[in-house]
Structure formats: C-alpha cells, structure tokens
Amino acid sequence: MLNRGGRVMLWRWRRNPLRRCSDVVEAWLGVVAAAMLLLAAPAVAFAVAAVAENALLDQAQGLRPVAARLVKDVPVTLSRFAGEAGDNRVSASVRWTTSTGSSRSGTASVEAGSEAGTLTEVWLDEADRVHPAPLTPAEARSQGTALGVAAAASVCVLVLGGWWVARVRLDVRRRAQWDRAWAEFDAHRGHRHA
C-alpha cells in the first residue's frame, strides 16, 4: 500500500466500499487537467508564436525604404523614459521623391535634435504612404515568443480554473449527499426495525 504522511495514495482508483463515483470523477479530472497542461499549453505556445512571428514578418511585405530629407529643424527633447542609450525619436515632417519623380511629404519618426536637410530613411508602401520601420526577424521572433508564452499562460489559467470549478461543484454535490445521509440517519436513530 502506498502511504505518504498518513495519506494513502491512489486511493481513488482502488476498490473501496467508501469510494464514491465523484471521487473517481475528480481523479480523472486531475489526470485530464495535468495532460492538458503538459500537452496543450506547449502546443498552443508554439503555434501562436509561429503564427505571430509570420504575421509580423508579413507586415513588411510591400514596404520599401526611401531616403527622405527633414523639412525643418527638430528640437532636442529629453524623454524621461529614454536612458543614455535609449532611442530618442520624434515625429517630424520629411520630403522624399517617389519612384515616378514627384516630390511628396509626410510625417516620419526621426532622431531628436536633427537639423533641416538631414537624410533619414522612411518606409513606404505601394501607394507611397509612410509606415513605421518593419521589425527585424529577431524582433519578430521575440514578440512572437512573448505572445506564445502569454497564450500558454492563458491555457494554463483556463485549465486550472476549469479544474477548480469542477472540484468545487463536486464538493457541493458531496456535501449535499452527506446532508441527505445524515438526515436519513437522524430520522431512523433510536428506532429499531424488526
């Protein structure tokens, strides 16, 4: 008999006159929850990470870099969130030449403190609209991984929450069964049956 600290292990699966159907259900719910935690959470994490990484990399499709010039000076702004090695960029007006040779202007993210006429790189789509710079493969991988971990954590919360709710409902059912059994015992206590 497996005995650990005064508790008999695996008692829900052994034949026992005191074992209830709800005990077996609770044991199997624990097995299913553990299997889902071990199998479903990693599978969801890998799937979400791969899909997110591909989606982030696909956003760069159709974008092309173009050299643009700053229209006017950009003042130096110190961000309280930017450290010494932080990226201190601001939005400013820039002008570039399209593939057809016409001049266009728009707003792009540039280095703070840049002077008018400074060259910067902007990313354009097929309609010559400015877009943020696309993510590098390493950035896409790290963001995909973060989303995969978040998805796996969500699966774990859902599985453990479902398991907990099922256990609470089984406990309520067992208490009701105990109340009925005690009421029946009290009704017959002191009465002898022939």
Each residue of 21-48: pLDDT tens digit? 787 888 889 999 999 999 999 999 999 9
Asked if residue 182 has pLDDT above 70, the reply is yes
Mean pLDDT, range 5-9, rounded to an integer:
62
Cβ–Cβ < 8 Å for 147, 57: no
Mean pLDDT, range 160-188, rounded to an integer:
90
Single-letter residue type at 41: A
What is the pLDDT confidence band of residue 55, given thresholds at 50, 70 and 90?
very high
For β-strands 64-70 and 119-124, DSSP reports them as: antiparallel
DSSP 82-131: --TTS--EEEEEEEEE-TTS-EEEEEEEEETTPPTT-EEEEEE-TT--EE
Residue 140: exposed, middle, or buried by beta-carbon count in 10 A (0-12, 13-18, 19+)?
Answer: buried
Give CA–CA dist 144/135, Å, rounded.
Answer: 11
**Quick one: how far is CA 78 from the chain centroid?**
33
Model pLDDT, residue 192 = 54
Question: For residue range 118-143, what is the model confidence (pLDDT) as tens digits?
Answer: 888 888 887 778 888 888 899 999 99
- Calculate what percentage of the chain has a pLDDT beyond 90: 31
- Mention every residue, 6+ apart, whose C-beta is less than 8 A from residue 34: none
Give CA–CA dist 98/191, Å, rounded.
Answer: 101
Model pLDDT, residue 1 = 47
Model pLDDT, residue 135 = 87
Mean pLDDT, range 8-22, rounded to an integer:
68
Question: For residue range 91-124, what is the model confidence (pLDDT) as tens digits?
Answer: 788 888 877 778 888 888 777 777 787 888 888 8
Model pLDDT, residue 144 = 95
Model pLDDT, residue 154 = 96
